[in-house]
Amino acid sequence: MNMEPLEIFEVYSAIESEAAVYRDITADVMSDLRLASAIGRIKIEIYPEGSLYMLAAMLRDVEMPIRISDMASVDTSYEGGEGFVKITIDREKYMPELTHFLWNKYTPANVVQADRWTILIRAEEPAKEAETLPAQIIANPSKNLHADMVEFSIRCVPEGFRVRYHTYENNEYLFIASEDIIEPTQLEHAKKMMEKLRKAVPDVTETKTADGKEKREAKNKSETATAATTGKEGQ
């Protein structure tokens, strides 16, 4: 999978040989959750002897809450003598969220997908509904990203690190996990990680991507093919 490059992707472990392993785990989970395009910079530090895991990430800007008017136009329509609210889709990106919202509000029996771009809704007062629907919020990308980042962190953290703390503010996400109580000094260290991440200058000569699993698989295939070719030549 071709991922958008990260500006900074750093993983440090007090046990040096484990850093690459944690980096691959991070890349794989990032890929699974499709977060690479949302994360601009990420720095992770792991101290196994101290049972401490710290993650600082700067996230790219996400869309504001999505209203129906952002993806569709709303009007009334009369079909077979019956009045409907007519929604004409302009953007399909948030169709699942729109459908879920309409089903909850009107029940599935009253929501008809006339075609790919048209939804008809049975309502007692179609004109009134058509007037209020455009302002309704159907998705909040920022809120979804917050939840995804929490899941991302939990899946990356070593097993047994069940004491957790995180903050998410102004596109900055900080996560700490430990087997023990998180100390104020550890929190301060994590905040300094974030501060360094803000000030860091990306290395423009190196492309950092969240493709750990894909890169390993490609490398393994390449090595296998090379070995097979070498074997044939030696026969």
**Does residue 230 lie within any of the structural domains?**
no
Check whether residue 175 and residue 121 sit in a common domain: no
Is residue 233 very low, low, confident or very high in pLDDT (cuts 50, 70, 90)?
Answer: low
Among residues 79, 111, 139, which one ends one of the domains? 139
Spatial separation of the C-alpha atoms in residues 42 and 60, rounded to whole Å:
11
How large is the greatest C-alpha to C-alpha distance in the chain, in angstroms?
82
- At 195-229, the pLDDT tens digits run 999 998 776 444 455 555 444 454 455 554 544 54
Check whether residue 135 and residue 161 sit in a common domain: no
Check whether residue 83 and residue 15 sit in a common domain: no
- Residue 107 has a pLDDT of 96
Check whether residue 214 and residue 150 sit in a common domain: yes
Check whether residue 43 and residue 113 sit in a common domain: no
Check whether residue 50 and residue 86 sit in a common domain: no
Check whether residue 56 and residue 152 sit in a common domain: yes
Q: What does the mean pLDDT of the chain come to?
A: 86
**Residue 83 pLDDT greater than 80, yes or no:** yes
**210 or 62, higher pLDDT:** 62
**pLDDT more than 70, % of the chain:** 84
Average pLDDT of the residues in 182-205: 87
Where are the extended beta strands (E) located within 100-171? 111-115, 118-122, 137-139, 163-169
Is residue 126 very low, low, confident or very high in pLDDT (cuts 50, 70, 90)?
Answer: very high
Check whether residue 164 and residue 54 sit in a common domain: yes
Q: Is the pTM of this model over 0.85?
A: no
CB 137 within 8 A of CB 71: no
